[in-house]
Structure 1
Amino acid sequence: MTEPAPGRARDCVFCAIAAGEADADVVLATDDLVAFLDRRPVFPGHVLLVPRRHVGTLPDLPADLRDPFLAAAQRIATAVVDGLGAQGSWVSINNTVSQSVPHLHLHVVPRTKGDGLKGFFWPRRGYADDAARAGTAARLRAALET
C-alpha cells in the first residue's frame, strides 16, 4: 500500500474531499482550506470548514493557518445569514471527544429563532460553590502561563 501524500492521512475522508478525490458540495475553497456542506446537517446549510493538510484538532492547527481559518469561518458565518436568510449561526469545533472525523473541522450551522435547537446539546453543570469555581479558574490560569 502506498503512503498518503504529504499533509494527508490515510483513510481520512476530509483529506480526500480537500484533495478533490471524494464528492462534496464545496462552498469555499482556498489554497489552504475547503468548506463544504455537512452530509448529515443539523439544518440545511450546515457547513464544515477544514484545512487541506491533515490537522487533528484545534491545538494542532499550525500558526500559519490560524488567521486564514478564522477569517474563513467569519465569511461562512456571514454567508449563512446573507445567503440563506438565517438570523445567526452556531459555530463550534469538537476536539477528539465527539469528533466524528479525526481531522479538524469547524461547524457553521444556520440558526433562526424558534428553529428547535435548544442551546447546547449537553446539560449544563454548575460549580459546587464559589471556591470550586475559583479553583478551576486558578488551574486554567496556571496552565495558560506555562
Structure 2
Amino acid sequence: MPSCIFCDIINGKADARIIFEDDLVCCFLDKFPINPGHVLVVPKRHAAEFTDVDPESLQAVILAAQQAAGAIESTFKTDGITVMQNNGAFKDVEHYHMHIVPRYRGDGFGWTEPETDVSSIDFDSLEIKIREAMAEWPIVS
C-alpha cells in the first residue's frame, strides 16, 4: 500500500491537531479548512472508499461525526454544519474520511447544482436499477 497521510497521522508519524480519538476513529482539524473548526473524522482501519469501510468503523465514524458537530456548533455558535464525504475521483486522500464543516450565512461555501431537465429522467427505470443493485449490498445491523 502506498503511503497514506491519514494512516501516518493515526500512527503518530505525521503531525495533526487531534481533537478526539478512540480505538476506531481519529478526529483532527483539517489543515486546509473551509472554515475554522473544520474537522475530519477518519476510521483507524484503512479503507479507501466509503463502500470499503467495515461496519464497526463506519458506526464509530458517524457517531464521532455527530459528537464533533455538536461540539463545533456550541463552541463556534455556527449557523449550521455541513457533513460530507467524497468518493472516487472526488476525494483528495485515498483514505475514507468525513468532513464536519462549521457553516455561517454568507461564508461563500456552497453546493452548486447543475441545471437538470427532470422531465427527461426516467424515474421508473432508475428506481428499478437502484433497487436491484441495493439487493446485492446487504444491510449490516
TM-score w.r.t. structure 1 length?
Answer: 0.85
Tell me the amino acid that sits aligned with residue 141 of structure 1: R
Find the aligned partners of 1:38 and 1:131 in 2 and give their Cα distance. 38
Tell me the amino acid that sits aligned with residue 124 of structure 1: P
Find the aligned partners of 1:138 and 1:77 in 2 and give their Cα distance. 35
State the match for 2:135 in structure 1. Answer: 145
Does residue 1:45 correspond to 2:28, yes or no? Answer: no
Find the aligned partners of 1:34 and 1:142 in 2 and give their Cα distance. 35
TM-score w.r.t. structure 2 length?
Answer: 0.88
Give 5+ residue unaligned stretches, structure 1: 1-8
Mean CA deviation greater in 127-136 or 86-95: 127-136
Does residue 1:133 correspond to 2:123, yes or no? Answer: yes
State the match for 1:35 in structure 2. Answer: 27
- The offset of 1:125, in angstroms, is 4.1
- The offset of 1:45, in angstroms, is 0.8
Deviations 1:116-146 (A, max 9, x none): 223x1x4334354265233222211111122
Find the aligned partners of 2:2 and 2:26 in 1 and give their Cα distance. 18
1:1-146 to 2 correspondences below 5 Å: 9-118=1-110, 120=111, 122-129=112-119, 132-146=122-136
For residue 129 of structure 1, give the secondary structure of its aligned residue in structure 2: helix
State the match for 1:5 in structure 2. Answer: none
Tell me the amino acid that sits aligned with residue 138 of structure 1: I
For residue 97 of structure 1, give the secondary structure of its aligned residue in structure 2: helix
Deviations 1:38-82 (A, max 9, x none): 111111111111011211111111012122111001001111101
Give 5+ residue unaligned stretches, structure 2: 137-141
Find the aligned partners of 1:127 and 1:137 in 2 and give their Cα distance. 18
Residues 83, 98 of structure 2: 8 Å contact kept: yes
Find the aligned partners of 2:93 and 2:121 in 1 and give their Cα distance. 38
- For these two proteins, the number of residue pairs brought into alignment is 136
Runs of 4+ in 1 over 6 A off after TM superposition: none
Q: Percent identity?
A: 32
Residues 84, 99 of structure 2: 8 Å contact kept: yes
